[in-house]
Every structure is written in structure tokens, then in C-alpha cells.
Amino acid sequence: MKVLIFSASTGGGHKRAATALKEYIESDSPKNIVKIVDGLEVAGKLYNNFICGGYTVLAKKMPKFYGNIYRNSDRESALNNLCNSVNKFKGKHLIAAIETFKPDVIVSCHAFVSTMLGDLKKKRKIKTPVISLITDFEVHYTYIADGIDHYIVSSQKMVDDFQTRYNISPRKVHAFGIPVFQKFYDTPDKAQLKNKLRLKPDGKTVLFMAGSFGVNEVLSVYKDISGSAKGCQFVVITGNNPSLYNKFRTKINKNTKLLMYVDNVEDYMHCSDLIITKPGGLTVSESLACSLPMAIYSAYPGQEAYNAKFLKEIGVAIILDKSCGEKVNALLNDNHKLRIMSENCKKNYHGNASKQICELAYSLSGENK
């Protein structure tokens, strides 16, 4: 089976989901071939720079304005009509990649690419089955396209929303979740893992995913929480942000392990009791796979705010505010609540998303392993 996955560079989540899905499908059968293509980049360099750069600037520099755009685009409007027209016009640029690779199934990990592919299917310029993978926890109007064969979502609520809001049959919408790498499903011995990572065996461990925060903001949050949560050890991961790492070096206390980019974040998740993070779809899905309770700070208006609201509603996360240190300390001292949050992670996790998407792809392609 040949699968073509269209990703995008608007945040790291789309690419990470695409790579996790590719890893699983290729490991499932030696006959499977998977290719990842950046759909926005193929659509045009200027277009890609405008979309990706615009997202970064608006979300980080003008979050309230971005939130207004996100909410206003979640319905039929002049803004959406313009956006759809541009995307449909750009869709023709995807045809060459499709015809060259000749996939049995196409997976789209971005709303704008889904619009392009849906229009191509509707106009019969491509015949390949198309799966649209939604990498957040809320349905948004921009994902809806007539030619899409199947949608992958993260909850039954999203399945219901597709039917009630957009009159799309539940047979086309599957609550499989968001693909994560298989290593997040492991259940290693926590004590042995702490020893391997050179972490203290006793007390609570708090994982701080710092790279997605603003520099000044994240230092303030860390200082407040680490100063309030006594008897805990912290792991702070700054990602590919040397400036942030260097700033942290002068601020951390003796109970903190500071790291830059790591390729074994799952190990730190498996041995932690709580993660402090922004509610990006992939980090959240990885935390759910690890049954790791979450404390959400500074969600951008838009999809992150919707994600945070959903996570709080299903009992897997708390939302932090200016008194974040006090709130985190109270949670860490409440073993019963932490246990319930961890159990809720298991209840609301839909199993191996990559496996279920792979099985759907087999059925659409008519291929076997």
C-alpha cells in the first residue's frame, strides 16, 4: 500500500503526527511505502511563507486578534469564502506530487490542504481516497470539504459535532485520536526509568515543556511553581531554543534538571507525575498516551483555548492562571485527584490512532498486509 501524507509547517504538531503515522504504516508491512510532503510548501513558496509566518506572528504577537480570526472563520463568512477560493486555486499544485507518487490513499494533516484535496476530488481531478486528520480537539469549519472521504478526530463529541453542525454522517468520522509515536504507548517501570535518567527516586516529578512559551513568561511561571511546590523535582525541556536554555541556566534551583532538545521525551513523560505545558494537539495526545495529568498555561485564543477547555471538561487537566504556583502545589499534594486525572487520561484515550488509521487505509485501498 502506498500512502501520501500532506503535512504543513504551521507549528510542529502537523509534522509530528505525519511522521508518527508514517512510522507505524511502514512498520506494519514491508510492502507499505509512505511519503510525507509539505502541502503548503508545494502550493507555493510565497503562500507557504504567508500562512506559516502569519500564524506565528498572529498567535504569538497578537493572540487576541488571532483568536477573533479563528472564531470568525468557524462559520460561513466572507473571510472563509476568500480563504477557500485561494486554497482551491492553489490545489492544482498538489496534482503533480499525487500523480508522481501514485498513492492508494492520501492523508491530509492540515485544514487548508484538506480544502485543496476535497476540491480536487469534487472536480474529479483526483480519484484517490482522501482522509483528513484533525490535530486538535475541536471541530472547525475550515476542515469541512465536500470531497473528503473520511475524517479522523479525537473524541466522540467531535463526531457528534460533525453531524449536528455540518450534517456529515458519523460513518465518515472516526474518533481514533491523533497519531503519536509507538514509544509513548510503552509502560516502563517508573523506578528503573528514573534511575536511568538520573532522577531522584522519591517525591513528585514535574515535567516542564518550556520551548513553546514566551521567554519572559515561562521563566516567571517556572519561578512561581518551583518556589511553591516544595519537595518536588523538575525537568525543564527548552527544545531547540538555546537562548531560553541559557536564560534558564541562571534561574534553576538544585532540584531541576535542565535540557534542550531531547529525542526521548516519552521517557520523561513516563516517569513524571504532572506536565506543565501549552495545549498543542500533539503534546496533549502524547500526555494522554502516557496517562500523564496536565497543567495548562497560557493557551493561545483559538484552537489552543478550545483544546484547554476540552481537556478540563474531561478531567485530565487543570487550567493555570497568575496564581499557578499555589494551584500546582495543591494538585501535587492531592494524590487522589492526580490518580483520577491519570485514570481519566486512560478513559479518554482512543487507543493506537496510527493502527486504526492504517486499518482504514487498507480498507480504502483494497490492499492487504
Cβ–Cβ < 8 Å for 178, 282: yes
Within this chain, do residues 294 and 153 fall inside the same structural domain, yes or no? no
pLDDT (tens digit, 9 = 90+) per residue, 235-291? 999 988 888 899 899 888 889 999 998 999 999 999 999 999 989 889 999 999 999
Whether 118 contacts 146, CB under 8 Å: yes
Considering the domain architecture, whether residues 170 and 228 belong to the same structural domain is answered as no
Q: Report helix, strand and coil shares of the chain as percent, to nearest 5.
A: 55, 15, 35
State the Rg of the chain over Cα. Answer: 21
| Burial of 78 per CB tally in 10 Å (0-12, 13-18, 19+) | exposed
Pair 130, 20 in one domain? yes
C-alpha grid cell for residue 7? 503535512
> Residue 142 pLDDT > 90, yes or no?
no
16 against 210, higher pLDDT: 16
Q: Which of 35-49, 63-77, 173-187 has the lowest mean pLDDT?
A: 63-77
Cα angle vertex 349, ends 346, 351, to 5°?
105
The three cell numbers locating residue 52:
506559516
**Banded pLDDT at 76 (limits 50, 70, 90):** confident
Same domain for 76 and 204, yes or no, is no
Q: Give 181's pLDDT tier (boundaries 50, 70, 90).
A: very high
- The CATH number of whichever domain residue 265 belongs to comes to 3.40.50.2000
What band does 216 get if pLDDT is binned at 50, 70 and 90?
low
Q: Is the pLDDT of residue 145 over 80?
A: yes
pLDDT exceeds 90 at position 332? yes
Instruction: Give the residue, 269 or 217, on which the prediction is more confident.
Output: 269
Mean pLDDT of 165-179: 94
Question: What's the pLDDT tens digit per position in 31-68?
Answer: 999 999 999 999 888 888 878 777 767 767 777 877 78
Give the chain's domain count. 2
pLDDT at res. 213: 56
Question: Are 144 and 94 found together in one domain?
Answer: yes
Residue with cell 471541530: 139
| pLDDT, the chain, mean | 90
Quick one: average pLDDT of 118-122?
94
201 and 124 in one domain?
no
- Give the three-class secondary structure for 37: strand
Only one residue has cell 511561571, namely 221
The grid cell for 37 is 510532503
Backbone angles phi, psi at 125, to 5 degrees: -85, -20
Contact between residue 274 and residue 294 where contact means Cβ atoms under 8 Å apart: yes
CB contact at 8 A, 150 and 159: no
CA 46 vs. chain centroid, Å, equals 25
Residues 101 and 196 in one domain: no
For residue 202, pLDDT over 80 is answered with yes
Residues 12 and 160 in one domain: yes
Residues 138 and 189 in one domain: no
d(CA 15, CA 38): 8
pLDDT higher for 369 or 197? 197
Residues 29 and 153 in one domain: yes
Closest to 288 (Cα-Cα) out of 306, 275, 303: 275
Select from 149, 140, 133 the least CA-distant residue to 356: 133
Residues 325 and 355 grouped into a single domain: no
Percentage of the chain modeled with pLDDT above 90: 59
2 pLDDT above the threshold of 90: yes
C-alpha cell at 123: 472536480
Q: What is the domain extent for residue 108?
A: 2-177+351-365
Q: How far is 239 from 242, CA to CA, in rounded Å?
A: 8
- pLDDT tens, position by position, 102-113: 999 999 999 999
Instruction: Compute how many other C-beta atoms are within 10 angstroms of the C-beta atom of residue 193.
Output: 17
Instruction: Kindly state whether residues 156 and 303 are assigned to the same domain.
Output: no
Report which of residues 112 and 71 the model is more confident about. 112
Indicate the pLDDT class of residue 297, thresholds 50, 70 and 90: confident
